[in-house]
Structure 1
């Protein structure tokens, strides 16, 4: 029986890898204007931001390694100029997977914890690591654009940066905002439910009301949708905190669910159950 289970697990893993490789091979990278010279690139993995200027290109996140050449072609299709700078909003592979490919073309900027976490991976390549790191933030100037990088602590991970293009008035949130549905909070990598909410509120408070938003996952959006996201998070935290204080078990909390208003926010990676389990794991400690 054990042998059958092991064989089944291996077959399942191989099929998953094969399907993932096929998805990458078949994937398209789409380009959508945000504002000014800033564009959003979409495909498998996290959303990319690109600043296109006559003096060169700036790239925010770079998805998975097999997509690198497609990403480069999409960027060149916007403006056929040299890549000048790369920014990693955090360390997850769907945002840093093409680092090694692009690092030969431009320096990578990221919070110091991004370099630390990437370098701790057994299979990492030195070329894939950020070469400019910071504690709180840094500003990059390219052509007539001012790109403000701000680190916010203990949110999605412990190395999150949001990127604000001041002239274009475009915000790239990294995974501090999931327009697509419930957020993924990496508790094993310094993430925190309450910290995440605090970070969303910080972005809401410190960006203009008419800012155009590139979320980590999901559609190009605006502040009203990020405000609704913050409201959902606050509701979730209060609901689970009250349930835990009342002595309810995880299973009871799962059985009650999020309620009709937010059930539709389940998506492929973060279901209602996974979101509630994240809340319970973080809030009961």
Structure 2
């Protein structure tokens, strides 16, 4: 798998008050198929499909990184970006919308993404309408680029209430957005409509679509595949079973948070990311308790 590295100092301004973003930024490009690439930088993984005439882009990280991302894309192709998909509304996936949403680029997302970003404009009108998707869908949509079929489909109440996966059929590459955190515990945004049950259902839907040769672009983490996704969903189901049992036994949030045995089998391999084992148990408890 080819990898191309780009280094640059972080730009002096920032649209996001996150101290970690003051460090040097590295954009890494992974070649996943003949036409599809994954860009890793600071935020959610970006997908790039280079067609015969146009580029299809998935997610755009933070606005201040847009020059670096454009430079990286420019090493792959000089073709224009025709469509930009947002897999959901979080800023590390949609923060660059204003930079990429030009006259030649149409921004696409689930209808709930537009609703959320439109509400954001009420508090921050200076962001401009360019952050808003111009084309939305409720369940699924299909685009065609020569011999490639590009399927976008909504998964309900998974990471958020507006998640979409994008599948490049002939290249056999699936971008799962933040419905998949490869190699780490997931961030399930309960306040934005996410749920443990919906998250697992999203994985099961993905498994129905792909095959053993499919390359998966996760929202965060390294490129993955069907075998790894199967193991991941098995882990989620096991933790769900353990926490559900604890809830039925009447255990409190504090008790579940402190009970390392509920996730012990997976803490070493998946607990080193943003969501540590305790945060993971809290998420499972709050989501499953609320579903009672």
TM-score scaled by structure 1? Answer: 0.91
* 2:86 alignment partner, one of 82, 85, 88: 88
SS at match of 1:70: helix
Q: Report Cα offsets for 1:2-61 as digits up to 9, x if no partner.
A: xxxxxxxxxxxx9x94734423xx202111101120000001100000001230211000
Structure 1 equivalent of residue 10 of structure 2? none
Say whether the 8 Å CA contact 2:185–2:273 is kept in structure 1.
no
* 1:211 alignment partner, one of 211, 214, 217: 214
Give the deviation of 1:259 after TM superposition.
4.0
Structure 1 equivalent of residue 5 of structure 2? none
Q: Does 1:114 align with 2:113?
A: yes
Say whether the 8 Å CA contact 2:184–2:273 is kept in structure 1.
no
* 2:286 alignment partner, one of 277, 281, 284: 281
Structure 2 equivalent of residue 164 of structure 1? 167
Q: For 2:250 and 2:19, how far apart are their aligned partners in 1?
A: 43
Give the deviation of 1:247 after TM superposition.
1.0
Structure 1 equivalent of residue 264 of structure 2? 260
Q: Report Cα offsets for 1:182-236 as digits up to 9, x if no partner.
A: 1011111111111110111111122222211111100011111111110111011
Q: For 2:26 and 2:143, how far apart are their aligned partners in 1?
A: 29
RMSD of Structure 2 on Structure 1 (CA): 1.6
Say whether the 8 Å CA contact 1:53–1:79 is kept in structure 2.
no
Structure 2 equivalent of residue 152 of structure 1? 155
Runs of at least 5 residues in structure 2 that lack an aligned partner in the other structure? 1-13
Q: For 1:100 and 1:51, how far apart are their aligned partners in 2?
A: 20
Give the deviation of 1:146 after TM superposition.
1.1
The alignment of Structure 1 onto Structure 2 pairs a total of residues equal to 269
Runs of at least 5 residues in structure 1 that lack an aligned partner in the other structure? 1-13
Structure 1 equivalent of residue 139 of structure 2? 136
Say whether the 8 Å CA contact 2:258–2:278 is kept in structure 1.
no
Structure 2 equivalent of residue 271 of structure 1? 276
SS at match of 1:59: strand
SS at match of 1:51: strand
Q: Report Cα offsets for 1:143-176 as digits up to 9, x if no partner.
A: 3211100011111101010000001000000111
SS at match of 1:226: helix
TM-score scaled by structure 2? Answer: 0.88
Distance 1:45 1:143, change over 3 A: same
Q: Which has the higher helix share?
A: 1
* 1:77 alignment partner, one of 69, 75, 78: 75
Structure 2 equivalent of residue 19 of structure 1? 19
Distance 1:208 1:239, change over 3 A: same
List structure 1 runs of 4+ shifted beyond 2 angstroms. 16-21
Say whether the 8 Å CA contact 2:179–2:219 is kept in structure 1.
yes
